[in-house]
Structure 1
Amino acid sequence: MTGLRYVYAVCRPFDAALQSQLTGVAGDPPRLLPHGDLVAVVSHVPEADFGEEALRTHLEDLDWLTATARAHQQVVDALTAVTTPLPLRLATVFRDDSGVRLMLEERAAAFRRTLDRLDGRVEWGVKVFVETERTERTGAGAEPSAAPDRPAPRPVSGRDYLRQRRRQSRADDDLWSRAEEFATGLHAELSGRADDARLHAPQNPRLSGAAGRNVLNAAYLVRRDASEEFVERVDRTKDDAPGIRVELTGPWAAYSFAGEETGAGAADGKKAGDGKKAGEES
């Protein structure tokens, strides 16, 4: 099959088979392209969609970008089940196999160092939210733990209204203080159980669609054989603080710990284009 080469990840050689029905970007099944002691996971994509000019246009198309990211992530997830992949950025594309091999050759030392550091490890994501929507639904005078369908008493005067607002402000300040203390303690504990940790910027609720205000958005690099204990510890925190929600995601390939060099992937004009990695958030 002709076309450009789309590269999902770099890994060490492995013996396990990928899912038989696995397809990648543009519907083409991924294949392994070995070079020395490294392997690039690639598939064919049409130049009409992934050539430099076309790709620049497509990266502004949210529907196209979402579908491509989903297919990219599907391949990386399948790799994570059988080996330790080093995921490349979304839409890392080369003209041919030679371009991919040249990239592996030029980045070999950096790839090996990162793969050695990530070997046998996966990424877990933990987010902490303050559930402010519940407070807002109960009205200005309700406590954060009040039932969401209980209407707040209507103020009978301006003074009553200001009193309710002050109570609400104190309740909100108390909830925020507890949430920040909770998130700081949780991050410190989980960091101690992980080999590495990263703090990301809080999610914008208008972009993420998640309910509540995000006060912790962290990633943890955890050994596979320690992941069950890590997950159990996170689960035990979920009921520790009323009005505060803890979300756990994973296991993922170690995107947050892969290093910037994994997104480079170009050599001497052989690259057709690259964009954001799969799952990267604004």
Structure 2
Amino acid sequence: MTGLRYVYAVCRPFGAPLQAQLTGVAGAPPRQLVHHGLVAVFSEVPASDFAEEPLRAHLEDLDWLTATARAHQGVIDALTVVTTPLPLRLGTVFHDDSGVRTMIEARERVFRRTLERLEGRVEWGVKVYAEVSPEQAQSGTPSAPAVSGQPVSGRDYLRRRSTQARAHENMWQQAEEFAGRLHATLCAHAEDSRLHNPQNATLSGAAGRNVLNAAYLVPRSRSEEFVELVDRTKDESKGGTPGMRVELTGPWAAYSFVEEEQT
């Protein structure tokens, strides 16, 4: 091999084959390097794109970054089907096999401890959005229709605004309470959880205000039960707490539960 080594993840040896025709970053197939009983899954990539200088430049190119992230995630998803991978950061590149082996040796203890803890487990993501109308988003409740030709006193105006502000505050309080109850319920059915910062609606493009953005570590054997629990919550929210939208994603490799141990 003459290219650089782009490493996706570290895992234990696994016997099941990856899906046929799987390609990763730069269109290269993933390969395995076994060292000290651990497996680094990598692709050979050209130095012209992945050496330090060109890689830094590419990371400023949104189209290139999106395509690379999609290819990276595709390999992680394929690994998650057959084993428990510890995903490495996007753009983890080494000059040669020796560099990969050195990385494994330097972090071997952490890798083994984390793999032991996460073996047979996957991550599920749950987001809750409070969906409101444009009028509610602006003032908390639809404005009362104006009466044609009837002036509104300053006192009436202030009273109306005060009422709207209280309604607005109550609406978000109900949303936060719903999200808190859901998180507590899901935590009771998961082995671990992480609360992430709410998503910015402008960046995510998702409708509504994100009031819960959480990840849950769940054994594969209990994943069906966990999904059914979230589905029941979706149905209950329609009747008990209108305006709530619950989104479930996964199963994923346990990204949220390896970061702290790998730093």
Q: Above 0.5 in TM-score? A: yes
What displacement does 1:32 show?
Answer: 1.1
Q: What CA distance in whole angstroms lies between the structure 2 residues aligned with 1:249 and 1:121?
A: 15
What displacement does 1:260 show?
Answer: 3.7
Q: What CA distance in whole angstroms lies between the structure 1 residues aligned with 2:205 and 2:137?
A: 21
Alignment of 1:72-111 (within 5 A): 72-111=72-111
What displacement does 1:58 show?
Answer: 1.2
What displacement does 1:172 show?
Answer: 1.8
What displacement does 1:141 show?
Answer: 8.3
Q: Out of 173, 176, 197, which is 1:177 matched to? A: 173
Alignment of 1:1-282 (within 5 A): 1-132=1-132, 134-136=133-135, 142=141, 153-154=145-146, 157-159=151-153, 164-239=160-235, 240=237, 241-262=241-262
- Larger relative contact order (Cα-Cα within 8 Å, sequence gap ≥ 6): 1
What displacement does 1:142 show?
Answer: 4.8
> Residues 157 and 130 (structure 1 numbering): CA distance in 2 closer, same or farther, change over 3 Å?
farther
Q: Write the letter of the residue equivalent to 1:77.
A: D
Is this contact kept in 1: 2:140–2:165, CA < 8 A?
A: no
Partner SS for 1:15: coil
> Residues 188 and 74 (structure 1 numbering): CA distance in 2 closer, same or farther, change over 3 Å?
same
Percent of aligned positions with the same letter in both sequences?
Answer: 69
Partner SS for 1:104: helix
> Residues 99 and 6 (structure 1 numbering): CA distance in 2 closer, same or farther, change over 3 Å?
same
Q: What CA distance in whole angstroms lies between the structure 2 residues aligned with 1:213 and 1:242?
A: 14
What displacement does 1:166 show?
Answer: 3.9
What displacement does 1:171 show?
Answer: 2.6
Higher helix share goes to which structure? Answer: 2
C-alpha distance after superposition, 1:4-57 (max 9, x if no partner): 000000000000000111100000010111112100000011111111111111
Q: What CA distance in whole angstroms lies between the structure 2 residues aligned with 1:184 and 1:245?
A: 14
C-alpha distance after superposition, 1:149-195 (max 9, x if no partner): xx973465445765554443233222111111111111111111111
Q: Write the letter of the residue equivalent to 1:172.
A: H
Q: What CA distance in whole angstroms lies between the structure 2 residues aligned with 1:114 and 1:94?
A: 22
Q: What CA distance in whole angstroms lies between the structure 1 residues aligned with 2:140 and 2:223?
A: 43
Q: Write the letter of the residue equivalent to 1:94.
A: F
> Residues 141 and 95 (structure 1 numbering): CA distance in 2 closer, same or farther, change over 3 Å?
closer
Q: What CA distance in whole angstroms lies between the structure 2 residues aligned with 1:61 and 1:192?
A: 42
C-alpha distance after superposition, 1:243-275 (max 9, x if no partner): 11111111000000013453x6xxxxxxxxxxx
What displacement does 1:120 show?
Answer: 0.3
**Structure 2 unpaired stretches of 5+:** none
Q: What CA distance in whole angstroms lies between the structure 1 residues aligned with 2:151 and 2:52?
A: 65
Partner of 1:146: none
**Structure 1 unpaired stretches of 5+:** 144-150, 265-282
- Number of aligned positions between the proteins: 255
Q: What CA distance in whole angstroms lies between the structure 2 residues aligned with 1:152 and 1:64?
A: 50
What displacement does 1:131 show?
Answer: 1.0
